[in-house]
Amino acid sequence: MRSFGFCILLTALAWGQAPNQPASGDSKESAPALTTKADTSSERAVALVVPAGTKIPLSLKQAISTKTARQGDPVYAETAFPVAMNGRMLIPAGTYVQGTIDRVRRPGRVKGKAELLMHFTTLIFPNGYTLLMPASVDRLPGAAHEKTKGEEGTIQEEGQTGQKIGTAASTAATGAVVGGLSSGGKGALIGSGIGGAAGLAIAMLTRGNDVRLEPGTSIEMIMQRELPLDPVRSHAPAN
């Protein structure tokens, strides 16, 4: 009887556990779904990064001249073309860029070209997402008489040595004509010498050309270090 009762007890326990087996199977089947959600959230958490050395075309928003600019003055520009990488948008066109003027040097009268040094500090996305960045000027494809030099991207006026020589020569020729009309051949020589000296003096007393960048000037900015972006905030719609 004890053996019979024990068998009945085992049978009851077995039947009691049977309904729990499908539940165990269901938990195994739901495991892939949980993994998929984890993978999706992981993908969203992957930050976007603008690599160091990335070149970004800008359009200048205000005029800048070494004649009026001062150290510490702000610089305003905006991205002229979107920056994308591996099929993902990093920086959209129309993103505002703010910078600062670091150094200004006026042109000399005898020697010394005008120079301007500035760097960029801030990105402001169309939706208001703002972050700090380290960037400098790489090239000036939209400038007519300016060029960049050195690793810092100093903007330099190309100079006007040829113009000063032309001024002296033109003044000398004018003096020769006036002297020739007044005193003949000898007067032409004297007039030429006086005119040349006057032209040289005028040229030497006149400053060289200032660096002047007009609104809309194309500037190529280069990232000095990598710039991490928040993937959610950088792609949020503008208000």
pLDDT tens, 156-211? 998 655 454 554 455 445 544 445 555 555 555 555 556 555 555 554 556 689 99
φ, ψ for residue 221, nearest 5 deg: -95, 145
Confidence of residue 17 (pLDDT cuts 50, 70, 90): low
In contact, 138 and 55? CB cutoff 8 Å: yes
pLDDT in the model for residue 2? 54
d(CA 92, CA 198) in angstroms, rounded, equals 56
Confidence of residue 226 (pLDDT cuts 50, 70, 90): very high
Residue type, 4: F
What is the SS3 assignment for 219?
A: strand
pLDDT tens, 78-125? 999 999 998 899 999 999 999 999 999 999 866 789 999 999 999 999
Threshold 0.85, pTM exceeds: no
Mean pLDDT of 147-164: 78
For 184, left (φ over 0), alpha (ψ -120 to 50), or beta? left
Rounded to the nearest integer, the mean pLDDT of the chain is 77
pLDDT in the model for residue 138? 96
d(CA 22, CA 93) in angstroms, rounded, equals 56
Mean pLDDT of 7-36: 51
Position 135 pLDDT exceeds 70: yes
pLDDT in the model for residue 159? 66
pLDDT in the model for residue 209? 93
Work out the percent of the chain whose per-residue pLDDT is above 70. Answer: 59
Q: How far is CA 68 from CA 106, 138, 143, in A?
A: 10, 23, 18
- 48-159+208-229 fold: Lipocalin (2.40.128)
Structure tokens at 7: 């068998």
Position 48 pLDDT exceeds 90: yes
d(CA 32, CA 115) in angstroms, rounded, equals 63
3-class SS shares of the chain: helix, strand, coil, % to 5: 35, 30, 35
pLDDT in the model for residue 158? 83
Structure tokens at 89: 């948008």
**18-22, 84-88, 222-226, range with greatest mean pLDDT:** 222-226
**11-20, 54-63, 137-146, range with greatest mean pLDDT:** 54-63
Residue 73's Cβ-count burial label (10 Å; 0-12, 13-18, 19+) is middle
Domain boundaries, the chain: 48-159+208-229, 161-207
